Structure 1
Amino acid sequence: MLLKALAAATLVAAGWTGGLCAAEMEICWRGKDGKTLTESRPLVEKDGVAVFTLDRDEIVAKKASSVELTPDFARAKNGDRGFWAVSSGETGTFRCDDGKLECKRWQLMSFYGMQTPERTFVAIVRKLKYYFMTRIVAEKGVYRMSCVLDKELASQPYEDLEIEFRRLEGSEASLGGMARAYRRYQLDRGAVKPLTERVKDNPVLKYAIEAPEVRIRQAWKPVPSPVPDQTPENEPPVKAVVPFERVVDIAREFKRQGVDKAEFCLVGWQIGGHDGRWPQVFPVEPSLGGEGRLRACIQAVKELGYLIVPHGNYLDAYRIAESWDEEWLLKDLDGETTMDAGCWGGGAGFRICPQRAYERFMSREMPRMKALGFMGLGYFDVVSVVPARYCGDPRHPLNGAEAARWWGKGAELSKKCFGGFASEGAFDHFAGSLDYGLYVSFNDPQKYPSGLVDRMAPLTSLVYNGIFASNPFTRTVNFTAQDRYCQLKLIEFGGRPAFYFYSKFVSNGKDWMGDNDLHSGTDEELTKSVACVKAGWDVYRQLNHLQFVYMDDHAEVAPGVWRTSYANGERVFVNYNKTAVSINGVEIPAEDWKLVK
């Protein structure tokens, strides 16, 4: 208490005279021997804002394996009114006696929040924000919510830790209020710009956002590969499924069925097919028709009025690539250990250092792709669905912030070459560059409640709708071919639809993009698949103007009925019930949706 009083007195003496409120930050240092040291420090709030800083040198000197920081107002009891939310979109109420959730791998944004009977707050991690963890623990009916540094952030932090806690009151004391506070923070510091500004001089971007994404997996090798260490001599054969001429047939069927806008993305067009020889791209896969027919395909699709872009990958690498060199691989903190990227079409995969990816590959090959005629949101896989990771190689060392900057350079080059940038996910170290994320979450929204989590909320959309577009879940790919729940979930979460021909390609059946697929092997399959896209286009054309508007709120207004509210005053109601529901005079049919302007 004396420390809090002294801190408040110091601020008053410095001229901070209004709205002071003192709290405490509990800091729990865990040593490498498992022993813990817990201390409390003052956390002084002025006019609803408190900033806590932990010095980098102190973190290093402690030699801890982890440090957990918990303000005294981030606590609640089972049965209390309120909720917690983490940036993965997982959120829950205080209904459990025991349990734990850690958000690190899917820490999509640098904030978290909590509402308790005492207050509602949002915590924005302003420094040391790459790869921190948010932890929610319920123990004997008592909840606490903490920011945690572990591994490299506890042993080798690249800067001070700085967290800003903002008290939210009135109408801002909600999940939407937390998202709006973080959005304002991003806008005010110039980290992002709204789509309405960015499309003014970029008609390609405007068209792409208004159109569905249509991905066509053209060719691939067996996945997971039966040959982990591939060479040109033992490389498994490429399975060519959609040659370039068939891509043109698909686009013509789109035109015939009345799909007015679409952005096609060719997946597996490069040597070795999808994930076949990264980072090697050229020559164009010969079994699909080679470069001449690719150029003709691109021209024909554009003449039909559609965009067409390449799928590339500069994070993953395979030994079979002509340019293979372990020098440019991402290394662990020891400077030697390479990072595994699973086993895909090209065999055992490795990660590429972001700096080397830009210097050696992106800067050289994106202009070559541009010369083929591609135009739209150039798609570069994986990078936005993983955290910004350090590289420990002494020849090209990077911390998380530096890694994010190199990936950002690649994204900006994509915009220069093609008109925009898209990737697999929505990690917000790309927020200033990303135009579209293929899916925000791998979670199945129907599996909740589970553990401490009540539901998945559209937190990314609440922050970034109107800044970049996204599809909410892997399960909502090909949404009109999936069950009604998935169809409605994409609408509720404000998604830009993603359709995928041959989304299922994994030999062991561990595919992840919905239960139903699109095919083009026969004319009958093609007609049926395009009809699914047309059904999705008929929905999206009614809603695509909302991609340029901030999403301001999301709430359950009756059992099984959700309302998504936008900054222009429009609202989308989604009714998951098997009977019609009326909300304040708005009739929403059973298992259906309604836009109210």
Structure 2
Amino acid sequence: MTNKIKLKIVIKIILYLMILGGCCWFIYILQSSTQEDALNVKKWREKTIELIKSDTVLAAESDSLKLYFKEDTAEIWIEDKKTDEIWRSNPENAKSDKAAFGLNKTNILSQLIVGYIDDQSSSFIVNSFVGSVKKKTFDYRLADNGVYVTYYFNETGFEIPVYYGLKEDYFTADILCNKIVQHDSFKISNITFLPYMGCGSTKDTGYLVIPDGSGSIMNFNNQKQTYLSYSQPVYGRDNALSTLNITEKKENVTMPVFGIKRNDDAMLGIIAQGEYQAEIGAEVSGKTSSNNIVYSKIDFMQLDTNKLFANSNNEETSFMWTEQFNKFPKYEVRYYFLNQNATYTDMALRYQKYLVDEKGMTKLSQETEDKAKINVNLIGAVDKVATFLGVPYKTVEVLTSYSDVLRIANDLNSNSFIDLNLWYTGFLKDGIKSKLPAKIKLDNRLGGKSEFYKSIKELKSMGIGFYPSFNIVNMYQTGNGYYKTDSTRSVYRSAANQYEYLLSTGDKNSAISPTYLLSPSKVTGLSKKLLISIKKNNLTNLGLEGIANTMYSNYKKNGISRNETGSIFKDILAELDANTDSLLLDRAFGYSMPYADIITDTPVYSSEYDMEDASIPFYQIVMSGYATLYSEPVNMQGNIQDYLLKLAETGVNPNYKLIERDPSVLMNTQYSYLYSVGFNDWKDDIVTTAKRFSKLSVTYGQTITGHKEIVNGVFKTSYSNGAAVYTNYNNTEVSVDGVTIRAKDFIVRGDR
């Protein structure tokens, strides 16, 4: 072996040794670093109950919250720094859930459940775990104090981007709707968003909060898994879609919120954008998994069902999907994590704060009079069919003339217990079903212009609130510049007929002609014309029907979505509120609440579905101190005694629907259901109720700060000034908290 060869061998050995040493040194450094990181993680885990794994990143942090993102499953969870509570997007032990089978097994691992249709209008479902996460076809980036995640569903051609982030005191979850991509022929119909966020297990105690009517709760693990899950659209059904049959009276989702009370902690969800096309869903453990869940869903398309050739031998049912409405910036759900021991009262107060901070809702002035607030809804006139020599013709039946209004007001106002408010409907020409109010046209049959304004002047001098009511949404007749072509369109591009339904069968009442809904794009112009007429006639108070509680699309070509309708209606309400002294709205939904000084027909019960456990006054708590609430007509209730107790319990004032004429004039008309509305029949009852309710004046203008059932059948409602109302539904006297409440009665404690 030559020296040259020996030298090469030595050099190679040295190089190998150097490489080996470098590797050892690198491994040593890596291990040291890992050990150091492990020590840091260990310290952090001691603080956060050992929740972070090596594939989890801290995506965002605020003064009160931390947001974590799990890189391999796209799960997120939030740590509440104040309580150390953890709120997860998916159950911690989802894979071992023994109650979940089939698709539900992977739904609980998903952040999105996507409904879609093919080009044959067949519907399907795919979730984010099966369609994207399991196949590793998603990506993320940390930015804007949060994390952007894009789910790629390769088999269906969907790209759905979402954003999870922290903003001040809440966690926000957004679907970036206008950035959704649909490559193939499939179309997304809806997306259920974070269905398991904050859910409670079978080991937890608590309840789900649903804004069903006044509000309702579903207790965790209530053994009602055999009943249908709760699922209802926010603000009720789309009135432009067909309704074949109405077999039950149910409440609507009145607010875009939902909540979870889990052990000692609570979470409130608020749909901040896209609410008009949203749904609220809820179910208890044992239904599809071992979890108690409440969540929201965004609808881009709706399935319409209609009957063709109805009531004939060729009758058939048709199904048609609406066009896709998804071109809006984002669907945003905010999650607020409340203090320990928070209840549904605290959830309602947080939503109240949201309406104040974000929507400009303002407080009522403080009340001082020891009187009962009583609202009377007077009906001016209705349409009816009469006959002359056997020939039918349409006419108007006067029920309460302009001078009658003044007489009734004087009669009731003479009672020292009554703080009277009047809401006058059906006072325009042709009564309740008048033409759209492009301008104020009074009816000479009711007394004419001079009599109307004389009554207004005298009512004002007596200090009585008077609200003439206008409907700028429902088109009962054509005219005043508006025609059937101005109505909103159905899926079939024909006018979206609005029907009356028979109480006996729930079917459409073919004896009554259908009415229409004015296209949302036309409502703005009508409202401006009405405002001009109101100012011209010096009307300072305004009552509005329909616009505060009716939500619909227009399915004409290049139609108008519910989100667009909601935005239009909200702007109209804001303008009318700014240009009047006081605004009365009937049965106001969440989007109209900030503009209401008075709300009538306030719901005091939920739908009381089988899966629900109790009605709660969520609606009333939200609006307490910010609007005067009046009930549905007391004189049209089945159990008036318990209904009045419910009003006292929930801070709602009595409302009566009345006419001056004897109700017998309405027999054999479409208004025959108004058989108990005669003023003379109810005057004494109103006075008696007012005397009883006058002791509640201590609560007027105050915020409800607490509500609970303290013993069976006895509720305590607490107010911001220290007053408390105890309501006893029992048939026997009850003593509690040092007070005695008589059977079927209420008592007030506390001062201003």
TM-based fold match above 0.5: yes
Q: What is the SS of the residue equivalent to 1:171?
A: coil
- Contact 1:311 1:379 (8 Å CA) reproduced: yes
Matched AA of 1:110: P
CA deviation string 1:482-529 (max 9, x = no partner): 62101111111101322220498696788889xx83414xxxx2xx53
Q: What is the SS of the residue equivalent to 2:498?
A: strand
Q: Which moved more, 1:87-96 or 1:416-425?
A: 416-425
Q: What is the SS of the residue equivalent to 1:8?
A: strand
In the alignment, the residues of structure 1 paired with residue 706 and residue 693 of structure 2 have an alpha-carbon distance, to the nearest angstrom, of 20
Match of 2:105 in 1: none
Q: What is the SS of the residue equivalent to 1:534?
A: helix
1:363-442 paired onto structure 2 within 5 Å: 363-372=528-537, 374-376=539-541, 378-387=542-551, 389-392=552-555, 398-415=560-577, 418-441=580-603
1:164-563 paired onto structure 2 within 5 Å: 164-172=334-342, 174-196=343-365, 211-222=373-384, 236-258=394-416, 260-279=418-437, 282-332=440-490, 336-343=493-500, 347-359=513-525, 361-372=526-537, 374-376=539-541, 378-387=542-551, 389-392=552-555, 398-415=560-577, 418-441=580-603, 448=608, 450-472=609-631, 474=632, 477-478=634-635, 483-502=640-659, 517-520=676-679, 525=680, 528-563=681-716
In the alignment, the residues of structure 2 paired with residue 512 and residue 171 of structure 1 have an alpha-carbon distance, to the nearest angstrom, of 46
Matched AA of 2:460: K
CA deviation string 1:53-110 (max 9, x = no partner): 2121455637222221234344345685211111121222131122211131122212
In the alignment, the residues of structure 2 paired with residue 328 and residue 482 of structure 1 have an alpha-carbon distance, to the nearest angstrom, of 42
- Contact 1:217 1:502 (8 Å CA) reproduced: yes
CA deviation string 1:379-433 (max 9, x = no partner): 111211223x3445569x6544543343344434544565211121120111221
Match of 2:171 in 1: 50
Shift in CA distance, 404/510, structure 1 to aligned 2, threshold 3 Å:
same
Q: Which moved more, 1:40-49 or 1:583-592?
A: 40-49
Match of 1:27 in 2: 112
In the alignment, the residues of structure 1 paired with residue 441 and residue 447 of structure 2 have an alpha-carbon distance, to the nearest angstrom, of 11
In the alignment, the residues of structure 2 paired with residue 444 and residue 189 of structure 1 have an alpha-carbon distance, to the nearest angstrom, of 27
Matched AA of 1:35: F
TM-score (norm 1): 0.82
- Contact 1:86 1:103 (8 Å CA) reproduced: no
1:563-582 paired onto structure 2 within 5 Å: 563-582=716-735
Consecutive unaligned residues in structure 2, runs of 5 or more: 1-50, 68-78, 91-110, 134-148, 150-163, 237-251, 303-322, 501-508
In the alignment, the residues of structure 2 paired with residue 215 and residue 382 of structure 1 have an alpha-carbon distance, to the nearest angstrom, of 15
In the alignment, the residues of structure 2 paired with residue 257 and residue 287 of structure 1 have an alpha-carbon distance, to the nearest angstrom, of 30
- Contact 2:88 2:198 (8 Å CA) reproduced: no
Using the TM superposition, give the Cα deviation of residue 261 of structure 1 relative to its aligned residue in structure 2, in angstroms.
Answer: 2.9
In the alignment, the residues of structure 1 paired with residue 334 and residue 673 of structure 2 have an alpha-carbon distance, to the nearest angstrom, of 37
Match of 1:202 in 2: none
Matched AA of 1:23: R
Does residue 266 of structure 2 align to residue 123 of structure 1?
no
Using the TM superposition, give the Cα deviation of residue 269 of structure 1 relative to its aligned residue in structure 2, in angstroms.
Answer: 1.2
Using the TM superposition, give the Cα deviation of residue 175 of structure 1 relative to its aligned residue in structure 2, in angstroms.
Answer: 0.7
Q: What is the SS of the residue equivalent to 1:263?
A: strand
Shift in CA distance, 544/356, structure 1 to aligned 2, threshold 3 Å:
farther
Q: Which moved more, 1:548-557 or 1:116-125?
A: 116-125
Matched AA of 2:258: Y
Using the TM superposition, give the Cα deviation of residue 330 of structure 1 relative to its aligned residue in structure 2, in angstroms.
Answer: 2.7
- Contact 2:266 2:340 (8 Å CA) reproduced: no
- Contact 1:479 1:486 (8 Å CA) reproduced: no
Shift in CA distance, 479/560, structure 1 to aligned 2, threshold 3 Å:
farther
Shift in CA distance, 116/19, structure 1 to aligned 2, threshold 3 Å:
closer
Q: Which moved more, 1:102-111 or 1:259-268?
A: 259-268
Bigger Rg over Cα:
2
- Contact 1:271 1:280 (8 Å CA) reproduced: no
In the alignment, the residues of structure 2 paired with residue 24 and residue 481 of structure 1 have an alpha-carbon distance, to the nearest angstrom, of 44
CA deviation string 1:309-360 (max 9, x = no partner): 21110001134434232443234578x443333359994211113442231x
In the alignment, the residues of structure 1 paired with residue 346 and residue 175 of structure 2 have an alpha-carbon distance, to the nearest angstrom, of 27
Consecutive unaligned residues in structure 1, runs of 5 or more: 200-204, 228-232
In the alignment, the residues of structure 2 paired with residue 102 and residue 511 of structure 1 have an alpha-carbon distance, to the nearest angstrom, of 34
Q: Which moved more, 1:95-104 or 1:577-586?
A: 95-104
Using the TM superposition, give the Cα deviation of residue 137 of structure 1 relative to its aligned residue in structure 2, in angstroms.
Answer: 2.7
Matched AA of 2:516: F
Q: Which moved more, 1:422-431 or 1:92-101?
A: 92-101
In the alignment, the residues of structure 1 paired with residue 524 and residue 634 of structure 2 have an alpha-carbon distance, to the nearest angstrom, of 30
Using the TM superposition, give the Cα deviation of residue 539 of structure 1 relative to its aligned residue in structure 2, in angstroms.
Answer: 3.7
- Contact 1:560 1:576 (8 Å CA) reproduced: yes
In the alignment, the residues of structure 1 paired with residue 485 and residue 192 of structure 2 have an alpha-carbon distance, to the nearest angstrom, of 36
CA RMSD of aligned residues (A): 3.9
Using the TM superposition, give the Cα deviation of residue 213 of structure 1 relative to its aligned residue in structure 2, in angstroms.
Answer: 1.9
TM-score (norm 2): 0.66
Match of 2:506 in 1: none
Match of 2:126 in 1: 37
1:588 pairs with one of 717, 732, 741: 741
Using the TM superposition, give the Cα deviation of residue 363 of structure 1 relative to its aligned residue in structure 2, in angstroms.
Answer: 1.9
Q: What is the SS of the residue equivalent to 1:324?
A: coil
Shift in CA distance, 328/234, structure 1 to aligned 2, threshold 3 Å:
farther
Using the TM superposition, give the Cα deviation of residue 159 of structure 1 relative to its aligned residue in structure 2, in angstroms.
Answer: 2.5
Percentage identity across aligned positions? 15
Shift in CA distance, 536/151, structure 1 to aligned 2, threshold 3 Å:
farther
1:69-148 paired onto structure 2 within 5 Å: 69-76=193-200, 81-88=205-212, 89-94=215-220, 95=222, 96-99=224-227, 100-104=229-233, 105=236, 106-117=252-263, 119-138=265-284, 140-141=286-287, 142=290, 143-148=292-297
In the alignment, the residues of structure 1 paired with residue 335 and residue 115 of structure 2 have an alpha-carbon distance, to the nearest angstrom, of 24
Matched AA of 1:8: V
In the alignment, the residues of structure 2 paired with residue 517 and residue 101 of structure 1 have an alpha-carbon distance, to the nearest angstrom, of 35
In the alignment, the residues of structure 1 paired with residue 54 and residue 87 of structure 2 have an alpha-carbon distance, to the nearest angstrom, of 8
Q: How many residues align?
A: 563
Using the TM superposition, give the Cα deviation of residue 28 of structure 1 relative to its aligned residue in structure 2, in angstroms.
Answer: 1.0
